[in-house]
Chains A and B, each alone.
Chain A
Amino acid sequence: MKIVRDTWLIFQQEAGLMVRNPVMVAFSLAQPITYLILFAPFLKVVMVDRGASSYADAYRIYVPGLFVAMGLFGGLFAGYGLLSALRAGIIDRCRVTPVSRTGLLLGRALMHVSLNVTQAVIVTLVALPFGLRVHLANLLISYALLGVMVLLSTSLSYDIALLVRNENSLGVLVNTVGQPISLLAGVLIPLVLAPMWIQRAARWNPFAWATDGMRALFAGQITQNVVWQGALIMIGLAAASLFWSSHLFGREVS
C-alpha cells in the first residue's frame, strides 16, 4: 500500500538523520537518567508506609512514571521539527511530489515513537542494576503502550504547531498543557499521595489512566482493568488526534 511505503520512506529518512546526530540522542537521555538516579531514592522514602520498602519497589513505581513523562514531553516538542521543516521548504518540496501526505506526517511521528521507545529501553537497562524487576512480557506491552502515547503527544504537538505556525507560541502552549497533564498523571509522585480533589480531577486526565496502566504492568498485575482501559483511551485519542493533524496538514499549506 502506498501510504505504508511512503510512511516507511519518510521514517527511514528522519530516523537516518537522527542516527547521524548521536549527540542529540545522548542529550535527550541525560534527563530521564538523572531523574532515575537522583529522584527514585526520594520516592522510596516517601512511599515507605505504602509498601515501598525496597529500591526494587521504588523503581517499579517510578520507572513507569518516567516512561509516561518521556512519552509526553518527547512527543509534545515534536512540533518544533515540523515547523522547521515547513520553514526550510522541505515540506513544500515533498508536497510537489506524489508522496502520500499522511505518510509525510506519520513517518515523522513514528520516528519520535521509535526514538522514545529506544530511550525507554536504555532507561530500563540502567534501572536493572538498581533492583528493577519486571516480567519481560509486561515490559514489552509497556513499550507498546508508550509507543501509542508518543503517537498521541506527537500528533497533539503537530496539531498545535499547524494551528499556531510559530515556535514561540508552540513552546508556551506545550508547557502550559504538558505541566498540568504530567502532574495530574502522577508521573513523579503517585496520585495515591495526592489530596482527594486532585485524584478526582486526575480521572479526567487520559495520561493518568495510562500511567496507572503502566504501573500495573510493572507490578505484574496485567489483569487489572486499568491496563486495557488505559491502552484503549490512548489508542482512541491517538487515532483521533492523528486524523485531525493529517487533516490540518492536508489543508492548503501556504
Chain B
Amino acid sequence: MIEATGLRKSFRVGRGRGATTVEAVRGVDFAVRRGEIVGFLGPNGAGKSTTLRMLATLIQPSGGEATIAGVDLLRSPAQVRRRIGFVAQASGTYDDSTARRDLVLQARMHGRSKSVAQDLAVAAIRAFQLDDFADRKIKTYSGGQRRRLDVALGVIHSPQVMFLDEPTAGLDPPSRVRMWQEVRRLREEGMTIFLTTHYLDEADSLCDRVSIIDGGRIVAEGTPSDLKREISGDVVTVEFAATDLADGSGDDLPAASKLLAEAPYVHAAEPVDGALRLYVDSAATAIPQIMRALYDRGIEPGAIETRRPSLDDVFLAKTGRSLEE
C-alpha cells in the first residue's frame, strides 16, 4: 500500500551566508502492506514527522520516490490526497469551533455534499464516542478528547491509508489504551495504518512491524518480536550506589563497565543513566558470575534487575543510545 525508496528531505534554514542545511531525512526505504499497522519508532528529531509530511503531500521530498495506494506521490499528489487521511502531531482544529462543525467541514473539503457530510459527522461522533462534547467549543476539550477528534477528522472520508503522527503523545495511560483500540478498529475496517511513536510499548503492542529511525535513517526494521529476538538472551541491569568521591575512589560505573565488557559470559555492556545494562545468554547463570567479578574488584553493586529484551535494547544496540529518557 505504501512503498518508499530513498526518500530524503533537507531543509534550508537561515538566509544568505548564514544559511545551513538540516538533513531531516537521509534516504529511507520501507514498504507497508494492505491492512498492516506499521510504526516509525524514534527519538525527538529523528525525522518521523518529516517523513510523514512528505507522504501526506504537505512537503516536497528533496529526493527519492514513493507510491501510495498505487499512486505516485510526486506525479499525482492530488490523487494521493483522495486516498489518504492524515493526523498531524499538533492537532489542526479551530479553538472556537465544535467537533461537529469541524467534522462536517472536513467531509465537505473531501467533496461530500452537505447532507452526506452531516451524516458522516454523526457517524464519526458515534464511532469515536464524541457525543458528550460534540457541540461544545473545542478549546474546552481535554487532551484525549481532542486527540480522538483529530483521528475522527482524519478518517471521516474512509481513506485507504491512514497516517498518524504520534497519536498518543501526551495522553494518560487509559486514554492511550483507548486510542490503540480505535486504531485497531480502523484496521479492521480495512485501513492500512502508518504511525509514528516514541513509546516503546506502543510500537510493541500496536504495530505489526516497526522501523526504528534515528538521525534521519532507518537503523532496524521488522516485527517487534523479530527485532527483540536479534538481541538473544536476557538483559541484566546493575545499579551502583552513589560513590563517595571524597576518598578518591571515583565512580564505580566505568570500572565495572570495562571489567564486565571483557567477561566471556557478557555479550555487550552499555552504561545507561548511572546503571550498567548487560546482555547475557541466561540471567540465571550470569548473575552469580557478575557478582563474583564485581566483589573481586571491591565494587559493591546496588540493585540488580533482570528482564527480557525490549525494543529499547534493540535501539541501544543499533545506536549506542537509549530511547528512554
- Is the C-beta of A51 less than 8 angstroms from some C-beta in chain B? no
The reply to whether A90 and B58 contact each other, CB–CB distance below 8 Å, is no
Q: How far is the CA of A16 from the CA of B105 in the complex (A)?
A: 12
Docked complex: B61-104 residues within 8 A CB-CB of A? 78, 81-82, 84-86, 88, 90-97, 101
Docked complex: B42-63 residues within 8 A CB-CB of A? 56-60
The reply to whether A17 and B94 contact each other, CB–CB distance below 8 Å, is yes
Residues of A within 8 A of B109 (CB): 6, 9, 94, 97-99
Residues of A within 8 A of B128 (CB): none
- Is the C-beta of A95 less than 8 angstroms from some C-beta in chain B? yes
- Residue among A9, A89, A95, A97 with max Cβ neighbours from chain B (10 Å): A97
Residues of A within 8 A of B86 (CB): 93, 96
The reply to whether A98 and B58 contact each other, CB–CB distance below 8 Å, is no
What is the CB-to-nearest-CB distance from B53 to chain A, in angstroms, rounded to a whole number?
8
What is the CB-to-nearest-CB distance from A89 to chain B, in angstroms, rounded to a whole number?
3
Given the interface pairs A89-B92, A93-B92, A98-B109, the reply to whether A252 lies near B81 with Cβ below 8 Å is no
Partner of A9, one of B59, B90, B105: B105
The reply to whether A90 and B94 contact each other, CB–CB distance below 8 Å, is yes
Given the interface pairs A17-B96, A89-B90, the reply to whether A98 lies near B82 with Cβ below 8 Å is yes
Q: Give 28 CB contacts A-B under 8 Å.
A: A13-B94, A13-B97, A16-B101, A17-B96, A17-B97, A88-B92, A88-B94, A88-B95, A89-B90, A92-B88, A92-B92, A93-B92, A93-B153, A94-B92, A94-B109, A96-B57, A96-B58, A96-B81, A96-B84, A96-B86, A97-B81, A98-B78, A98-B81, A98-B109, A99-B109, A99-B110, A252-B59, A253-B58
Q: How far is the CA of A90 from the CA of B102 in the complex (A)?
A: 10
The reply to whether A90 and B101 contact each other, CB–CB distance below 8 Å, is no
- Is the C-beta of A135 less than 8 angstroms from some C-beta in chain B? no
What is the CB-to-nearest-CB distance from B306 to chain A, in angstroms, rounded to a whole number?
44
Residues of A within 8 A of B254 (CB): none
Total interface residues in chain B, CB < 8 Å: 30
Residue of A nearest to B105 (CB): A13
Given the interface pairs A89-B92, A90-B94, the reply to whether A96 lies near B105 with Cβ below 8 Å is no
Given the interface pairs A13-B105, A98-B81, A254-B11, the reply to whether A90 lies near B92 with Cβ below 8 Å is yes
Residues of A within 8 A of B108 (CB): 9
The reply to whether A97 and B110 contact each other, CB–CB distance below 8 Å, is yes
Mark interface residues in B214-227 (1 if CB within 8 Å of A CB, else 0): 00000000000000
What is the CB-to-nearest-CB distance from B35 to chain A, in angstroms, rounded to a whole number?
22
- Is the C-beta of B192 less than 8 angstroms from some C-beta in chain A? no
Given the interface pairs A9-B108, A9-B109, A17-B97, the reply to whether A96 lies near B90 with Cβ below 8 Å is no
- Residue among B59, B94, B153 with max Cβ neighbours from chain A (10 Å): B94
Q: Which residues of B contact A (CB under 8 A)?
A: 11, 56-60, 78, 81-82, 84-86, 88, 90-97, 101, 105-106, 108-111, 153, 157
The reply to whether A89 and B91 contact each other, CB–CB distance below 8 Å, is yes
- Is the C-beta of A20 less than 8 angstroms from some C-beta in chain B? yes
What is the CB-to-nearest-CB distance from A194 to chain B, in angstroms, rounded to a whole number?
39
The reply to whether B59 and A254 contact each other, CB–CB distance below 8 Å, is yes
Docked complex: A88-120 residues within 8 A CB-CB of B? 88-99
Q: How far is the CA of A92 from the CA of B94 in the complex (A)?
A: 12
- Is the C-beta of A176 less than 8 angstroms from some C-beta in chain B? no
The reply to whether A95 and B82 contact each other, CB–CB distance below 8 Å, is no
- Is the C-beta of A223 less than 8 angstroms from some C-beta in chain B? no
Residues of A within 8 A of B57 (CB): 95-96
Residues of A within 8 A of B110 (CB): 97-99
Residues of A within 8 A of B11 (CB): 254
What is the CB-to-nearest-CB distance from A14 to chain B, in angstroms, rounded to a whole number?
9
Residue of A nearest to B60 (CB): A252
Residue of B nearest to A20 (CB): B96
The reply to whether B88 and A89 contact each other, CB–CB distance below 8 Å, is yes
Docked complex: A1-50 residues within 8 A CB-CB of B? 6, 9, 13, 16-17, 20-21
Residues of B within 8 A of A21 (CB): 96
Q: How far is the CA of A202 from the CA of B90 in the complex (A)?
A: 47
Residue of B nearest to A13 (CB): B105
What is the CB-to-nearest-CB distance from A201 to chain B, in angstroms, rounded to a whole number?
32
What is the CB-to-nearest-CB distance from A17 to chain B, in angstroms, rounded to a whole number?
5
The reply to whether B58 and A95 contact each other, CB–CB distance below 8 Å, is yes
Q: How far is the CA of A90 from the CA of B96 in the complex (A)?
A: 12
What is the CB-to-nearest-CB distance from B166 to chain A, in angstroms, rounded to a whole number?
13
